[in-house]
Amino acid sequence: MNAVMGDTTSDADSADKRSRLRRSLSRWADSGEAHARDLRATHSVAGDVSIAEAPDRERVSLRGTIKTVTLRPRGGAPALEAELEDGSGVITIVWLGRRRIAGIGPGRAMRVEGRIGSATGHRVLFNPRYELIP
């Protein structure tokens, strides 16, 4: 009889652990959606379009937060790459011939202006005009 009760208790414990795990994952997923909503609200300004709605091969003005900054050589020359996100999407910003730009780093808000192109299937903005936002 004790063996049967022990099995029931361990089943209940494992079910409780699975339930806690599901709640934690759900909260984590919700926080990602909340973060995207916050970014969209923060970066929606008249005159700027969202990254997701920005048309290719037309001059656009985008506003967002830098996710990552990477130094990658392109054709033997240095190129500074940054991923800009605004809650609707992400776009790669590339400054050719630059190793670093003062003030540009992860978490920094900025506004960029330029023409969106495509490189290896990803949307890219080469050598845009930019403005750091405090």
Is residue 48 in a domain?
A: no
Q: How many domains does the chain have?
A: 1
Give the CATH number, domain containing residue 72: 2.40.50.140
Q: How many Å apart are CA 52 and CA 86, to the nearest integer?
A: 9
Is residue 23 in a domain?
A: no
Encode pLDDT of 47-97 as tens digits.
Answer: 688 899 999 999 999 999 999 999 988 888 999 999 999 988 999 999 999
Q: Which two tokens stand for residue 112?
A: 């960029």
Identify the pLDDT of residue 129. Answer: 97
Is residue 116 in a domain?
A: yes
Is residue 52 in a domain?
A: no
Is residue 43 in a domain?
A: no
The pTM assigned to this predicted structure is 0.66
Encode pLDDT of 84-133 as tens digits.
Answer: 999 889 999 999 999 999 999 999 999 999 999 988 888 999 999 999 99
Is residue 34 in a domain?
A: no
Is residue 50 in a domain?
A: no
Q: How many CB atoms lie within 10 A of CB 95?
A: 19
Q: For residue 107, is it left (φ>0), alpha (ψ between -120 and 50) or beta?
A: left
Give the structural domain span for 69.
59-133
Identify the pLDDT of residue 9. Answer: 56
Is residue 49 in a domain?
A: no
Angle (CA) 13 17 22, round 5°: 150
